Amino acid sequence: MSFIFKAIDHIQLAAPKGSEDIARKFYKNILGLAEIEKPEELKKRGGVWFRFGNYQVHIGIEEPFSPSKKAHPAFEIEKVEELKKHLRTNGVAVIEDDHLPGANRFYVFDPFGNRIEFLEWIKK
């Protein structure tokens, strides 16, 4: 094969129509991701985009909406315990999970019911 995978450009999660402000509150205000402007042609579809480092998280509008309960993005975090405390302080329920050897990880559900994993690899 001559093609090469380079990186993940973005992750898309779904949300119901009219939920952009709720997405901003969670992804921008609580998680601290930077909102980025969508291309003009895509704005009419609704949704909102965010960025951290070289990665983007797109919240797209889906009708009828159905959250991802099993399929999920997993974000590697530095100081994951600090994030966990921050989320709980902001009223986000944290689901502990110790089933991945060598990782401190947990899950949350975004305001739309999409599962999101956060983890920090334990250095030995």
Mean pLDDT, consecutive 10-residue segments, the chain of 124 residues? Answer: 92 97 98 97 96 96 95 96 98 97 97 98 86
Give the separation between CA 102 and CA 123, rounded to whole angstroms. 8
The pLDDT of residue 1 = 87
Residue 118 near residue 75 (C-beta atoms within 8 A) = yes
**Amino acid present at 96:** E
The Cβ of residue 65 has, within 10 Å, a number of other Cβ atoms equal to 13
For the chain, which domains are there?
Answer: 10-121 (3.10.180.10)
Q: What is the pLDDT of residue 5?
A: 87
- CA torsion angle for 48, 52, 53, 58 (degrees, to 10)? -30
Long-range contacts of the stretch 31-35 (C-beta < 8 A, 24+): 33/57
Place of tokens 């601290």: 32
DSSP string, 75-115: EE-SSHHHHHHHHHHTT---EEE--STTEEEEEEE-TTS-E
Q: CB count, 10 Å around CB of 90?
A: 12
* Predicted local confidence at residue 15, as pLDDT: 98
